[in-house]
Amino acid sequence: MDYLKKILDLVDRQEVDYALDLAEGMNDEQIYHGLLEGSKVDEGVLIAPDWVGWEGYRNEFFLRILAATPETEHIKNLREGVELYPFKNHHQTKFPSFVLQFKNLVYLSVKCGNFESLPAEIGRLQQLRDLEVKSVGLKRLPEDLGQLKQLERLDLPYNKLNENDSNLSVIGNLENLETLVLDGNELEGLPKGMLLRFPKLRSVSLNLNEFPEDRLSEILSELANLPHLKELFLLENGIKKIDPPTTGFHELIKLDLGNNEIKEVPIAFGKLQNLEKLNLGGCASLTNLDALRELTSLRELNLGGCSSLTDLDALGGLTKLTSLDCGGCASLTNLDALGSLTNLIDLDLSRCESLRKTDGLANLTNLTDLDLAHCKFLPNVDCMTNLTNLTSLNLNSSECLDSVYDLMSLTALEWLDLRGWTTLSYPLGLIEELEEALPNCTILTD
């Protein structure tokens, strides 16, 4: 009987346990050799035989066979040579311990499945610098996790970790940690003092958790004292009011407060002199931007979906801005404050349904991308004649436009969307004239 073929047939039927039992029961060197033939390590990555393919269950069987194979020089080289390993299998019900055979792993990613804990043996991976365990239902961390002294990035998103039962304090032993990601867990707080134990921490992501105001203040107070913190992500935390300390965050470059319920940006965040990227997108209750006036280093600002904003007056001094997203700012009526933002390259004003004046655009001669889709009360494009660097212009469904002949001077245009118009309805010969004036432009029409 061709046992190698029978084993692979069982794998084809996803009967992985039976296939493994048969291979181990045979304990035949030729069977192991046949299953592992073609395996090699290339620049730290394990290359599997062709029969493995991309399916998670095949990959799992391959790794389990490798772990069960008696050690030869070739097998030893495989196990010691692997440094990077991503593993994904929606059907796994426990941590794939067979990856622990790779003692020199530097990067390990385990995604999908359903298991509540990591094995204590995880502490053996002394070279590990980047660990991701995502969407597996993780509820508790072992003490041995703290032995990973070389770990620089810990990424545990979309699990079921909580402050009281998950042994989060063990993370505090990872003294070389630079990036901590705990998005989408069940956190209402973090163990007191834990964040202060990371002198090298540069990036913290706590998106999609629900922090009461007092617990969020505790977290921010600790983060403010970290000397190298560059990035802080607090997207969709249900925040209604945020009260950061008045000092600290001196090195912060990127801040994400998107999809929260705040009405104003706290004054303390207005003192972040090194801040370059700020996301306030989806903060539908936001009405006050006064704290932004002093953020003179800001280069990227997202206000998309801030539907209660009526003006952008606070932005007039932010002359380093190169990207501004105001898409969906449905209460915005004018753009006068933008006239001084002459370094803008990318501007999104789509779905600004109350916008009736665009005079503020006339000075933005460095713009290359401009989106005015669904600005249904926009009367004309007269102010755009100076925007000679525009390569992309979206006027989709800006249905009150009476003429677009002024666009013919924008010879750098490569993409122009004129779909969804009613008032203009393409006067006879308009599209042909535009195509002649803009020979390098793709013009989208109904």
The answer on 205 and 164 residing in a single domain is yes
Contact 134, 156 (CB under 8 A): yes
Residue 426's domain comprises 389-446
The answer on 431 and 405 residing in a single domain is yes
> What is the pLDDT at residue 385?
87
Number of domains in the chain: 3
Name the CA dihedral angle for 233, 239, 244, 250, rounded to a multiple of 10 degrees. 20
> What is the pLDDT at residue 359?
82
Q: Would you say residue 91 has pLDDT above 80?
A: no
Q: Any idea which residue has 């449905």 for tokens?
A: 330
Q: Would you say residue 313 has pLDDT above 80?
A: yes
Q: How far is 438 from 436, CA to CA, in rounded Å?
A: 6
> What is the pLDDT at residue 426?
62
> What is the pLDDT at residue 423?
55
What's the whole-number average pLDDT of the chain? 92
Contact 227, 252 (CB under 8 A): no
Q: Would 382 be classed as within a structural domain?
A: no
The answer on 130 and 5 residing in a single domain is no
Q: SS3 of 120, please? A: helix
Q: Would you say residue 424 has pLDDT above 60?
A: no
Q: How far is 420 from 427, CA to CA, in rounded Å?
A: 14
Average pLDDT over residues 101-113: 95
Q: Would 261 be classed as within a structural domain?
A: no
The answer on 104 and 65 residing in a single domain is no
What is the band of 89 on the pLDDT scale with cuts at 50, 70, 90?
confident
- 323: closest CA among 380, 254, 382? 254
Average pLDDT over residues 97-106: 95
Sign of CA dihedral 8, 13, 16, 18: negative
Q: Would 241 be classed as within a structural domain?
A: yes
| 307 to 281, 310, 339: CA distances (angstroms) | 10, 8, 22
* For helices 3-12 and 29-36, angle between their N-to-C axes, nearest 10 degrees: 50
Which contacts qualify for 332-336: CB closer than 8 Å, 24 or more apart? 333/357, 334/359, 334/360, 335/359, 335/360, 335/361, 336/360
> What is the DSSP code (8-state) at residue 189?
-
Q: Would you say residue 250 has pLDDT above 90?
A: yes
The answer on 231 and 118 residing in a single domain is yes
Q: Would 372 be classed as within a structural domain?
A: no
Q: How far is 164 from 168, CA to CA, in rounded Å?
A: 8
Average pLDDT over residues 217-239: 96
Q: Would 120 be classed as within a structural domain?
A: yes
Q: Would you say residue 425 has pLDDT above 70?
A: no
The answer on 400 and 445 residing in a single domain is yes
Q: How far is 327 from 353, CA to CA, in rounded Å?
A: 10
Give the highest mean pLDDT range of 55-59, 93-97, 429-433.
Answer: 93-97
The answer on 25 and 125 residing in a single domain is no
The answer on 222 and 200 residing in a single domain is yes
CA atoms within 13 A on the CB side of 364: 28
> What is the pLDDT at residue 396?
92
